[in-house]
Every structure is written in structure tokens, then in C-alpha cells.
Amino acid sequence: MLRDDRILPFTRVVAAAVIVVLVFAFIVLFLLPGQTDRRFAWTIHPSMTAMLMGAGYGSAIYFFVRVLTERQWHRVGLGFLPITVFTWMMLGTTFLHWGRFRHGSFPFDLWFWIYLVTPVLVPAVWLVNRRHDPGTVEARDARFEVRVRRALVATGLVLVAIAAWMYIDPEGAVAVWPWGLTTLTARVIAAFVALPGVGWHDFHHANVLTYVYFLGLVGTLAAIATLRTWMLRRIDAGDGVRSEPEPTA
């Protein structure tokens, strides 16, 4: 088979279909977070959780637009591996919390079929298209010193560890999160955390925007920790009452 580094038409069709779904999810979760009781697979409280999920889906639009418009497979190919892990985690979450969903509704049917199909479809796309990967790098592809690569690997391992903890022990995540979660939403957020952890080696490290993204992610985690500390101090000082999340499933 010719290893011409091309992206197959089948891959582009899948990317186009995924973009439509992602845009729908972004609109519902990020722009209309208070309407998940009617427009999403399950009712999400508080709205902050829905917006966090919406931001995650929104960020994935960029990747699939790249798949749709890129000419060379090696620039996007490895991105399918962390997405595969994400879809597996989402499918597992669906079955673990089956009773929490709005069965019989269109949003749930769409959610269920998406996460029933994509755990097989996404790795299939990778397996089929990777046959065209020449396995070589371009002259402009960046190479880093060993210590830099080790630091990047360590960053990915930390994120994977956080994701694994949240997925295996969602009650623990619920207890420390700065706003109310359920075990369902804790596992969903774990899947989003796993994405950059599993896929860190796929980022274009020569692009300054990669580090802007990374610093933004670290800043977000730091902001969450700071917000939690501030809220708990206010509660201890008697300035507020800590609200409990809805019953978990």
C-alpha cells in the first residue's frame, strides 16, 4: 500500500459528521446550560458543569476541522487515540449510571447511539488511515531535548492519574470539587481530563499556541483549587452554607 500520508475520504466524512454533533453539544451545554432538562441526555446541575462540558466539546471542534481540511495524516492521526479513550470512558459512564438518563427522549437516543458507535468507529478510522502514514517526520517538525520530553510525559501522567482517580472514585471527586457534582458528572469530567493526558504527545510542540493551551489548562486547575479553598474558608467563617450536590447515581 502506498504510504502517501493522505487523509482518506472516509476519515473526512466521519470528521464532518462529528463536527455537526459537537456544534450541537456546544450550543446546548455552553450557551443554554439551564435547559439540559429538555435539550440534553440528562438534567445537569449546576449550570457550571454543563458549561465545562460544553467548553470541552467546543474545543474538539478545532481538531475535527483540522482533520476535515488537513492534507497530511501524520499531523492529526495520533489525535484519534485519546479520543478513543474518551469514547470508551463515556460509554462506560453511560452504563454505570443508566438510571440517571432521560430514556425515551431524542437527546438520550442521540447520546446513546453516538457513544455506542464511536468507541468502535474512531479506532477503526485510525487503523484504516494509519496504513498511509509513512512514519517519517517533516523538516519543520520540532524535536526536543530528552529533559523536555520527560517533562511533557510527566504532565500527561499527572493528568491521566487525575482522570483515573475521578473515574474510579467519583465520590472522592464529588467531595473536593468546588461546586456540586454527581458521580455521573464526575466521571464525565474525568473523561475530559483524560483527553489531554493521553494525547499530550500529539500536540504540535513547535507551535506557541500549544503552550498557551497548556498554561490555560494548568491555570484552570489552579483556579478551581483556589476557588474551592476560598469557598471553604467562607463557609468556616460563617459567610455561607455549603450546598450538597443532588443524590448520586
The percentage of residues in the chain with a pLDDT greater than 90, rounded to a whole number, is: 52
First to last CA, the chain: 49
Of 62-71, 79-88, 139-148, 208-217, the range with the lowest mean pLDDT is 208-217
Flag whether 224 is in a domain: yes
In this structure, the number of other CB atoms found within 10 A of the CB of residue 39 comes to: 16
Residue 209, helix vs strand vs coil: helix
CB of 187 within 8 A of CB of 167? yes
Question: pTM of the prediction?
Answer: 0.80
The rounded Cα 127 to chain-centroid distance in angstroms is: 21
Flag whether 60 is in a domain: yes
pLDDT in tens, 53-85: 998 899 899 899 999 999 889 888 888 988 999
Q: List the alpha helices (DSSP H) in 70-205.
A: 80-96, 106-129, 146-168, 170-176, 183-199
DSSP summary character for residue 139: T
The predicted pLDDT at position 156 comes to: 79
For the chain, the domain total comes to 1
Flag whether 36 is in a domain: yes
What is the sign of the dihedral through the CA atoms of 222, 52, 117 and 19?
A: negative
For residue 218, is pLDDT > 80? Answer: no
Flag whether 248 is in a domain: no
Residue 86, helix vs strand vs coil: helix
Distance CA 186, CA 243 (A): 17
Flag whether 25 is in a domain: yes
Flag whether 169 is in a domain: yes
Residue 92 grid cell: 462506560
pLDDT in tens, 99-130: 999 999 999 999 999 999 999 999 999 999 99
Residue 6, helix vs strand vs coil: strand
In this structure, the number of other CB atoms found within 10 A of the CB of residue 240 comes to: 11
Flag whether 192 is in a domain: yes
CB of 221 within 8 A of CB of 155? no
For residue 237, is pLDDT > 80? Answer: no
Flag whether 243 is in a domain: no
Q: Which residue has the higher pLDDT, 76 or 229?
A: 76
The average confidence (pLDDT) of the chain is: 83
47-69 vs 9-26: helix crossing angle, rounded to 10: 160
Amino acid at 173: A
Q: Which domain holds residue 148?
A: 9-236
